[in-house]
Structure formats: structure tokens, C-alpha cells
Structure 1
């Protein structure tokens, strides 16, 4: 149970993290693009890389967070690029500031909020996504 969840609810801090996350996009995106979709709460999941299953453990936490949010009527989205953020010097400095050992790595983010729109209908699954075996 190595994962830790860092909770950020300060709007200015979330904006700073949004810009930082955007800087790791693999393509150029507009400066006003918000990878956190204006969410009011940002959760950062970190896990101890000294554990052999740290990526799986942290990913499980992210999946449970998204499902739990849905269960109570809260909108959520799993956001990537935490690994790149916390592998950087700035990320290592934040871990130190927060009192989290440097062996912890970023696994992902979950943003939470109440959507101001109706969710679009999901696209159909690709035909070969599920394989049935007798």
C-alpha cells in the first residue's frame, strides 16, 4: 500500500499545476488549454518506486478514485504526465517540501468537480475489444 494522494484545492495552485502539466504535452497546445478542465480539486497519486508493484498500485488507486467519484455524483477524469512532472527537479523539490521520500514517483492525477455540461454519449467500443472464450 505504497501510494499517497496529494490533495490540492487552492485555485491558484491548481492553475500552476495545470500549466506545468501542459508543458509535458507531446504536441504544442494553446497556452489557455487547461488539462485539468477547470476542476476545483486536483488529486495527485504518487507511489513508492521501491515496491515492485508501485505502478499497478498507484493505477488501482486512480481507477478507484474515478469510480468512487462517479458513485457519489462527482465528475472526474484521470490525467497523465505525473510521472514526467515528479521525475523533474521541480517535482523532486516538491516531494521534499511535502515530506514525501524521493523514491515516490508520479503515477497520475484525478481532477474532481461538478460538470457544467451533460456528458456526451460514449463512442462504440471497437469490435475486437472483448474476446469470448468457451
Structure 2
């Protein structure tokens, strides 16, 4: 696929097989996030790559509690990537969002399904969330921007036609 086809082909996946991600696949997804542009190239982002099913399930439970549901907000995806950023950087929210976007595109390039999941800020504001960051050696004062889930899709997600408004001045 061409780069443009990869961009246009990406869709949110909400159904995954139980096949785990390979560590090299996870590494490439994180590297894509690390390579994202950031304001003044400050690179205020940090990443938590979770392939361990027990920690993945803890994050799912914490996210579900914020959502006030009992269902898995990660749709059974075997890998969860938390994107965090240093809130002292004025562009941290945008920088983290760009990083997550690149991670979603990298997952697509690898033939994996992926989806952006919200509520990372609330998850990592909890004592248990902070404990997970501490266990991983990440700063507890970084703000959660979002989760990128990834895995092998159970079915290929349908690409919806984009209907955003577009203005042209030519």
C-alpha cells in the first residue's frame, strides 16, 4: 500500500483475536509515537506499552470504572499503549494526540487493528494508575492523553466515508 492508501484505509477496530502482539510490533508502534512532531521539538511525551495480560486487565478495569461500565473498554485487544505527556509543556495535549495518531497509523501499516480509547487522564489520576506508572518507571505527574489499543482484528473494520467539512481557498 502507498502511504496515502495506508492513511485512508485506517479504521477503528473494535473486535480482536486473542493472538498477542509480537514485541517487535509493539516496539514499532511506540517508535512511531516517539517520532511524532511536537511543539518546539520538546518531545514531552512518554509511553507505557502493556503486553502483560494482567496489567492490561487492570487498566481495562480502571478505564471501565471511569466510564461506569462493566464491559471491556479495550474491546479485547491484547495490547494497550498509554500516551502520556508532561503538562508543563504548553503543547502537551496536542503533542500527545499527534503521537497517538502516528501509533494508530503504524498499527495499520503492520496489518493490525487499532483504536483510540479515551479516559487515560482519569485512569492515571487514580492511586492505582499512578502505581502502574511508578512500576514502569514513568513520571507519575505526566497526564494521560489517551490509550491506543492494538491487536489482530477478528474482522477487518469498515472504513467509513469521511464527512468532515472542508473549505478550499485556491
TM-score by length of 2: 0.68
What are structure 1's unaligned runs of at least 5 residues? none
Q: Which residue of 2 aligns with 1:84?
A: 122
Question: Could you tell me how far 1:75 is from its partner in structure 2?
Answer: 0.7
Which structure would you say has the larger RCO, counting Cα contacts within 8 Å and 6 or more residues apart?
A: 2
* Structure 2 CA distance for aligned equivalents of residues 66 and 92 of structure 1: 25
Q: Which residue of 2 aligns with 1:61?
A: 99
Greater mean deviation of Cα atoms: 84-93 or 68-77: 84-93
* Structure 1 CA distance for aligned equivalents of residues 96 and 146 of structure 2: 8
Q: Which has the higher strand share?
A: 1
Deviations 1:3-28 (A, max 9, x none): 11111111222122111101111xx5
TM-score by length of 1: 0.85
Question: Could you tell me how far 1:76 is from its partner in structure 2?
Answer: 0.6
Contact 2:59–2:123 (Cα < 8 Å) also in 1? no
What are structure 2's unaligned runs of at least 5 residues? 1-42
Structure 1 segments of 4+ aligned residues over 6 angstroms from their partners: none
Deviations 1:71-122 (A, max 9, x none): 1211110110001111223223333333322331101110110111132241
* Structure 1 CA distance for aligned equivalents of residues 134 and 75 of structure 2: 28
Q: Which residue of 2 aligns with 1:11?
A: 53
Q: How many residues align?
A: 128
RMSD after superposition: 1.7
* Structure 2 CA distance for aligned equivalents of residues 124 and 58 of structure 1: 23
